[in-house]
Amino acid sequence: MITEVHPFYKHFSDVYGARWPAIFQALQNREQQVARRNLLSTNKNLAEKKWHAFPQKNELPGCYWIPQGENSTPERNSDELLDVYVMDPASVMVAKALEVQSGDRVLDMCAAPGGKSLILIESLVGEGEIFCNDMSPERRERLKKVIQQYVPRSVRDRVWVTGKDGVQFGLKEPAGFDRVLLDAPCSGERHILENTAAQEEWSPRRTEHLAARQYALLAAAFLAVKPGGRIVYSTCSISPDENDGVVQKLLKKKKTAVKLLEASLGVGGERTAAGVAYMPDRCGFGPLYFAVIEKT
């Protein structure tokens, strides 16, 4: 159990100061989620049929807030596809920030479980292709199942599920993609608070190791994207070292070869030095961080 004397608590108390107790409490509360309509389904009557009571936000089209205690289990439509995907609303905004266009060649470098991938697939609008990659066999199987449950067969022909180490894309397919989403493996502090073993193993050094891995993946994304292409880097960490620190390292090393773009704050976002953060103490969901980078 994490108390005020635990290294985890003390570390983030130093990072966030007077705000930390509120963040710490919010991380232990159940986060708000949305039910996002499956736009690849031919069934267009979801709002009238089931979700009419959920207030919809203009910034989250097709998404409906799930009230506490409400049953949000997806159901099959008449076309045999599931009707909604339940996810953190910040994840929707991250996927939208990639601004995938019809005909793009897209890489989702660490794609499982697949909620963001579905949004990217929808954005292709009948043309282009997407590579949904995840190195973990277990996570990759979950990713495949999500694609089978939500994506029509006619669209799956342009969806490739791969199991490479993400750094390989930069080496083997330089300038091969119009858009790259890197939702990087991270500390995931919300999950640490739910796992006693993870609490016992945690140390600031783990964050340092993860940040090094995250930078290697981001550098690979930079190599893999075409000039003029876009990268969205994201994590579900509250650690500045894993967020702004990784992005700023790329900006420093690549200099004029990359440009930081100003990302939209969306619902509940707050500006950081290099990107946008959604923090549960203020918006009720997250944590989630993202930054938008263009290869010049």
Return the active site residues.
236
Distance of CA 77 to the CA centre of its chain: 26
Q: Rounded distance, CA 95 to CA 34, Å?
A: 15
CA atoms within 13 A on the CB side of 291: 23
Distance, in Å, from the CA atom of 230 to the CA atom of 293, rounded to the nearest integer, reads 6
- Tokens representing 269 are 């976002």
Residues 6+ apart with CB under 8 A from 4: 10, 13
Q: Is 134 helix (H, G, I), strand (E, B) or coil?
A: coil
Cα gap 42→45, rounded to integer Å: 9
